[in-house]
Amino acid sequence: MKLLVHALGAWVAVESASGRFSRPVAVGLAMLVSRLGAPTVALTLAGLAIKRLDEEGAFDELKTALRDRNARLLR
């Protein structure tokens, strides 16, 4: 249950940092998430890193390979 709470807090923090919420909501969410402690911070930083890599195209080849594989399997 603790892992679920920390993962949910990290997801909220990543979405908040990426600009999904308005500034007052983001500040409130950040205050709540900050109370969860170190595990949430670690998951948040990992989530932000993965999101940035995805935005920069680091996973494009993997996505293309998976799409091609799925298309082959569906034929």
Q: Which pLDDT band holds residue 26 (cuts at 50, 70, 90)?
A: confident
Domain count, the chain: 1
Distance CA 57, CA 47 (A): 15
* pLDDT value of position 74: 84
Distance CA 7, CA 4 (A): 5
Q: pTM value? A: 0.56
* pLDDT value of position 28: 81
Per the structure, the complete domain to which residue 50 belongs is given by 2-74
Q: H helices within the chain, ranges in order?
A: 2-17, 23-34, 38-55, 60-74
Tens-digit pLDDT profile for residues 31-66: 777 787 788 778 778 888 888 898 889 899 988 988
Q: Which pLDDT band holds residue 29 (cuts at 50, 70, 90)?
A: confident
